[in-house]
Copies of this chain bind each other. A is one copy, B any other.
């Protein structure tokens, strides 16, 4: 069986990473690439690294065409724009993995407050599976629409979820200090992301008001039933890709500060079926997981807290790789296909 996949919004970095991964996937054919701005161009003009690897021409988006050519659409549009397009695709009978934040949250008010727009398809808010394959594999398998997780949330909730669920840590004193490569900011030219501004520089941004904070809190509550009081600070590191999250938590009453092995056990138990999430002894670096779908988790005691470290590639496990995992689940393929 070959899954025919369309990439909607083909010009950005997550689209490019998706093209790269799908080129290696033995059961996928990319049959469509759309972009408003670049229609009529060969895809290799938009992404010179695809020269000689993918012969597709970029076209304007048309839901009817998509429904003829694709079994699945991977929608790489920004929030707001995504929801409307996703609705057309679903109504045309195309299954969708949506990379935007439009269907991730379970509460419309939170969406409106953080994204500042009226939601184009509010009926699906709270009724769309969050595409974290390690948590929601069954629902993903049968979904028409999957909300692909945010990159920062992936790096935070994968380590936090099992510890909260097992009652090992307090839910009301969590600090997530995350550091990301610059590809997370997208491919639209802006001063802050120019080489000469970003290279040899490190900075925080969105302190106290980043949109991934409510996404983390929402998912942890959905997954564990506990309301998490969570502070999140994203930073920009002078590198292309990768996220390292340093997470400060307090062991729950009755859990010894020295019993970090209990956290490791909880991770191993929860993630023993997936090859992609792994507790390691060393302190992970983003380079250890770069260009892979792997997550490395570690824990240390520091003073009266535990420090959790999670490393992912923001473009792979934080976006396109998770989408390929979801594709495999949705079409009954081997979970690791195209991701080794």
Contact = CB atoms under 8 A, between A and B. Distances in A.
B305 A231 contact: yes
Interface of A: 13, 23-24, 26, 48-49, 51-53, 175, 177, 179, 181-183, 187, 189-191, 193-205, 207-208, 229-233, 235, 237-242, 244, 246, 248, 275, 278, 280, 282-292, 294, 296, 300-305, 307, 309, 311, 340
A303 B229 contact: yes
Contact of A301 (B53, B190, B208, B238): B208
A294 to B, nearest CB: 6
19 contacts: A13-B196, A48-B285, A49-B288, A52-B280, A53-B340, A179-B202, A179-B235, A181-B196, A189-B190, A199-B240, A201-B239, A202-B285, A203-B283, A204-B307, A205-B283, A208-B300, A229-B303, A230-B303, A231-B302
A48 B244 contact: no
Given A26-B26, A203-B283, A237-B237, 10 more contacts: A49-B289, A52-B296, A175-B248, A179-B179, A193-B196, A199-B240, A200-B240, A202-B242, A203-B284, A231-B304
Copies of this chain, count: 4
Contact of A197 (B181, B199, B237, B287): B287
A283 B206 CA distance: 9
A140 B143 CA distance: 49
For A52, A289, A307, A311, the residue with the greatest tally of chain B CB atoms inside 10 Å of its CB is: A52
B183 A196 contact: yes
Contact of A237 (B190, B202, B205, B290): B202
A178 B296 CA distance: 21
B196 A194 contact: no
A292 B196 contact: no
A48 B248 CA distance: 24
Contacts of A275: 52-53
A199 B236 CA distance: 15
Contact of A207 (B195, B201, B307): B307
Nearest to A277: B52
Contact of A287 (B190, B200, B282, B287): B200
The 9 closest A-B pairs by CB, nearest first: A201-B287, A208-B302, A203-B285, A189-B189, A207-B300, A52-B278, A195-B198, A231-B303, A49-B288
